[in-house]
């Protein structure tokens, strides 16, 4: 049997089909939303800051995709279950945004 263990030593993942995806789903629909708020709004704010810094326009979907790349770079350096879980969560949110017609593309007025 495969499962996620939580304890004093942090998160330990016992691998099985879909364990990482299940944990990512749990986080983006619960813990992370209560900590950081609605993903679309959060990504919209990050996109505005990154756009100003970079001098190019990016949107919330871009933010989610770029965060996936950040997690992949971290995973390349050293394996950590959190890297994979977060990458799966970000790609899931990017997919949700794309499927919904890109709700993070336009700032609320």
| pTM of the full structure | 0.77
109: confidence class by pLDDT, cuts 50, 70, 90: very low
Q: What secondary structure letter does DSSP report for 26?
A: H
Q: Residues of the chain with pLDDT > 70: what percent? A: 78
Q: Is the pLDDT of residue 8 over 90?
A: no
Digit-coded pLDDT (tens) for 57-70: 999 999 999 999 99
Q: ∠ at Cα 32 (52, 19), nearest 5°?
A: 120
- Structure-token pair, residue 14: 């016992």
Pairing of strands 10-13, 4-7: antiparallel
């Amino acid at each position: 049997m495969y499962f996620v263990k939580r304890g004093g030593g942090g998160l330990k993942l016992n691998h099985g089909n879909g364990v990482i995806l299940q944990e990512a789903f749990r986080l983006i629909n619960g813990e992370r939303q209560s900590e950081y708020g609605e993903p679309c709004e959060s990504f919209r704010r990050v996109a505005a800051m990154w756009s100003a810094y970079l001098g190019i326009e990016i949107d919330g979907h871009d933010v989610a995709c770029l965060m996936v790349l950040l997690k992949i770079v971290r995973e390349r350096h050293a394996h950590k279950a959190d890297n994979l879980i977060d990458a799966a969560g970000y790609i899931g949110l990017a997919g949700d945004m794309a499927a919904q017609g890109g709700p993070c593309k336009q700032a609320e007025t």
